[in-house]
Amino acid sequence: MPPQTDIARALAHAIDGALWARDVLDVDLDDWQADVVREPGDQLLCVTRQGGKSNTVGIKALHHLLHVPAAFVIAASPSEDQSKELFRKLLGFYDRCPEAPRAVVRNTTELELANGPRCCAVPGSERTIRSKSAVTMVLLDEAARIEDSLIGAVCPMMATTSGTLIAMSSPFGKRGWFYEQWKGGQGYVRVKRTAYEIPRISATFLEKERSRLGDLLFRQEYFVNSWTPGHRHSPASSSMPASAVISSHSHDRHFRDRHR
């Protein structure tokens, strides 16, 4: 029989994905990343470029695969190459888990474990992915750029499992599914992080980027508040649901909004 301490540790790791990431993957997550990994419900992540959202969601998805019976994760994005990049993050973390079940299928788009859980990276077209079902988690990368038809194809895959939806993106105009859900969708935890809130991105680099990209594009990619390309506005002009919980920051705001 395993020592009692081993049982307690395994239980703690099953409950707390951020603790598991620290102890097993040797990854110390930022506070916001740990919150995303621990959150059991649907989430919208509006996060700066290079903010660590793909790593965060890759860790969350792998923890789900290893701790949820019959887990089935789908990773979707505007293109198959982007889906593969997100899937590659998960595979990298999988390789750091010495006690993970062995893979019986492993290639550039699919991982299937010996005990049954699966993860698939799917193309950016809804026409070729409709056959999948009983999905327990859907990951949408660059969700602001995904066609509504693809959203309509993947979300029904969770109909029999009441699965979890994680959509992440930086803004891309005042249009599309991600914008509509961010502004008024129900049942999500919303997370917003600007580049100024990511310790791995230096202020010097950001000033260079502002000069290279211009103010409008810089705000869209790093300040994550430019919802309407072609119209300049200050952070204070960005409207959010009145129930949003706001923590102050010298450059922007971090929103976490629960509509339960």
Q: Which domains does the chain have, with CATH numbers?
A: 31-256 (3.40.50.300)
Query: Is the per-residue pLDDT at 229 higher than 70?
Result: no
Residue 42 near residue 188, CB atoms below 8 Å:
yes
Q: Where are the alpha helices (H) located in 41-175, listed in sequence order?
A: 53-67, 80-94, 148-154
Residue showing tokens 């917003």: 192
- Please count the other Cβ atoms lying within 10 Å of the Cβ belonging to residue 163: 21
- Confidence at residue 58, expressed as pLDDT on a 0 to 100 scale: 98
- Confidence at residue 207, expressed as pLDDT on a 0 to 100 scale: 95
Model confidence pLDDT, tens digit, residues 53-106: 999 999 999 999 999 999 999 999 999 999 999 999 999 999 999 989 999 999
Residue 96 near residue 25, CB atoms below 8 Å:
yes
- Confidence at residue 252, expressed as pLDDT on a 0 to 100 scale: 36
HSE-up (13 A, CA, CB side) for residue 78: 12
Region 18-31 average pLDDT = 97
Query: Is the per-residue pLDDT at 251 higher than 80?
Result: no
Region 155-159 average pLDDT = 96
What is the dihedral sign for C-alpha 62, 65, 68, 73?
positive
Residue showing tokens 């992080």: 193
Q: Which candidate, 137, 257, 78, 245, places its Cα nearest to that of 185?
A: 257
pTM exceeds 0.75 for this model: yes
